[in-house]
Chain A
Amino acid sequence: MTHWLEQFVHWSAGFGLNYNFLLDAYQRGTLGQGALTTVLLCLLTIIGSLLAGVGLAAMLTSGKPWLTRPARVFVEVTRNTPTLVQLYCAFLVLNMLLTEAVGAANPLTPFAWVVIVISLHKGAFHAEALRAGIEAVPTVTLEAASSLAFNNRQLLWNVQLPLALRFALPALINNLIDLVKMTAVASAIAVGDITYAAIMIWTQSDNVLELMILILGFFGLLSFTVNCVGRWLEARLRMPGYGH
Chain B
Amino acid sequence: MAIDSSVVLPRAWPRRHIGKLLLGVGALCALGYFAQHSPVLKALLQWSPALAAGFGQNILISLLAIGSGSVAGLLVGAMVVSPLRVLRWPARLWVQVFRNAPWLVLIYFTTYVFPFEIRIGSAYVAFPDWVKVTLGLALPASANVAEIFRGAIASIPSTQWEAARSLAFSRGQIFRSIILPQCFKRMLPPWMNLYAVITMGTALASLVGVHDVIDTAQIASNTVNQTGFTVVIYLSLLVLFFAYCYPISRLTQYLERRYAFY
Q: Which positions in A face B, CB cutoff 8 Å?
A: 76-77, 79-86, 88-89, 92-93, 96-97, 100, 177, 181-185, 187-188, 195, 199, 202, 208-209, 212, 215-216, 219-220, 223-224
On whether the beta carbons of A81 and B238 are closer than 8 Å, the reply is yes
Residues in chain B near residue A183, CB distance under 8 A: 102
> How many angstroms between the C-alpha atoms of A107 and B245 in the bound complex?
34
- Chain A proximity mask over B87-115: 1 for CB below 8 Å, otherwise 0: 00000000001001111110011001100
> How many angstroms between the C-alpha atoms of A93 and B201 in the bound complex?
21
Q: Which positions in B face A, CB cutoff 8 Å?
A: 97, 100-105, 108-109, 112-113, 196, 200-204, 206-207, 214, 227, 230-231, 234-235, 237-238, 241-242, 245-246, 249
Residues in chain A near residue B112, CB distance under 8 A: 202, 208-209, 212
> How many angstroms between the C-alpha atoms of A188 and B205 in the bound complex?
12
B242's contact among A77, A84, A100, by CB below 8 Å, is which?
A: A77
On whether the beta carbons of A219 and B230 are closer than 8 Å, the reply is no
On whether the beta carbons of B100 and A224 are closer than 8 Å, the reply is yes
> How many angstroms between the C-alpha atoms of A181 and B144 in the bound complex?
15
Residues in chain A near residue B231, CB distance under 8 A: 93, 97
Interface of B is mostly: helix
Q: Chain B's nearest CB lies how many Å from the CB of A162? A: 26
**Contacts A82-B203, A209-B113: A89 and B242 contacting too (C-beta < 8 A)?**
no
**Contacts A85-B241, A86-B238, A215-B105: A185 and B204 contacting too (C-beta < 8 A)?**
yes
**Contacts A82-B200, A82-B203, A212-B109: A77 and B238 contacting too (C-beta < 8 A)?**
yes
> How many angstroms between the C-alpha atoms of A184 and B105 in the bound complex?
7
> How many angstroms between the C-alpha atoms of A220 and B246 in the bound complex?
31
On whether the beta carbons of A184 and B102 are closer than 8 Å, the reply is yes
> How many angstroms between the C-alpha atoms of A187 and B102 in the bound complex?
12
